Structure 1
Amino acid sequence: MTRLIIQSVFILVSLTIAYYTAAGIRFEQVKEVLSTLQNISAAVFTLAGIWIAYIYPEAIAAFTNPKKVSLIKGSEKTKRIEKLVLIILTSAFVLVTILLFNLSYMLLKNASVVIEHKEVLKILSVGLIIFVSLNQIKAILAVMINNIEFVNELHKNKTEQEANDEL
């Protein structure tokens, strides 16, 4: 339910900003944002995938061999893996959206229906770019939070180990 509320707020904010700003935006500016967004999404996608593959190899083992799923069931790592998978899905969604946006622009930019409704489509296009940007920012923040939690866990484990060593 929380995710639905967040996405609804993102849509509302995106369309509101687009409504008031789209008229002054040129396609060159859109291309720059899309290029940056593509690079960031690819990097986040890769980073989260590496996290899963190298830090949680049992998750990969569970995926390739369903009988081993008990390795991660009920563990505290399950939530972190779930967050990382959602980050990967978000970045994949952003990348697919960018691809479809560019493809649509190429194929439809001279279509009569597009020319007739140019202003509305421009608002929707800018809104879409803002929406996927907000989602990618959310994914970046989730990676940052995940890293902080991981470092905190390392410090906690180190402190516990030092306390046990002193006994």
Structure 2
Amino acid sequence: MIAKIFAFICSIAIVGLAFWQGRSVPFQEQWPLFEALRATASIIFAVVGAWLAIIYPDRLKISFRKGEPSKPTNGSGMARLFTPIVHSTAILCVVLLIGIIAPLLKRFDFLIEHVEVMRSLSYGSLATLTLWQLWTVVLSLVPADIIKTKADHEERQISTVEQLTQNTGFVPRGTDNGSKD
């Protein structure tokens, strides 16, 4: 809980500082950061999409077939994978829109007169989107952590069974040592 509060306070501070000091950062210096953000969102989208296709291939096939009723599944696992995809898609959309809107806004004299305010808004938006993408990156690691935790649990369980049955001659079902000759 303390870590969440700390992260929230730091995020507010970063965004506030970006809005305040962003007025002196020209858009030409900001745009490479927007491009990096776009690339990161694309990578997360692709990686998590691949996770989804690997872990739930049957569910994806069923979803795109016409006329077949979909089978109910436990959606919590899919939701964990789908959430980063949705967030990365939203971030990609915003960055793509900024890419086409920013050059148009430079054509308005009223906005040129307030260039520092526009830079400030742009840099603050960049900071907000970057923190959002950072959170999405963290969310994309959750499925890998779940898989690792389960694999570690299974390894400990197998090790415990092996230790308990080592000198007894008992061979548990499902192990390679239990095959009948």
Q: TM-score, normalised by structure 1?
A: 0.78
Higher mean alpha-carbon deviation, 22-31 vs 99-108, is at: 22-31
Whole-angstrom distance in 2 between the partners of 1:37 and 1:26: 17
Equivalent residues, number:
156
Matches within 5 A, 1:11-160: 12-13=12-13, 15-64=15-64, 67-70=69-72, 72-73=73-74, 78-160=75-157
* Percentage of identical aligned residues: 19
Code of the aligned partner of 1:38: R
Bigger radius of gyration: 2
Structure 1, unaligned runs of 5 or more? 1-7
Query: 1:15 touches 1:123 (CA, 8 Å); kept in 2?
Result: no
Q: Which has the higher helix share?
A: 1
Structure 2, unaligned runs of 5 or more? 1-7, 163-169, 173-181
Higher mean alpha-carbon deviation, 40-49 vs 153-162, is at: 153-162
Whole-angstrom distance in 1 between the partners of 2:145 and 2:43: 18
Q: TM-score, normalised by structure 2?
A: 0.73
Q: After TM superposition, where is structure 1 displaced by more than 6 Å over at least 4 residues in a row? A: 8-11
Query: 2:62 touches 2:70 (CA, 8 Å); kept in 1?
Result: yes
Q: Match for residue 165 of structure 2?
A: none
- CA RMSD in angstroms, aligned pairs only: 2.8
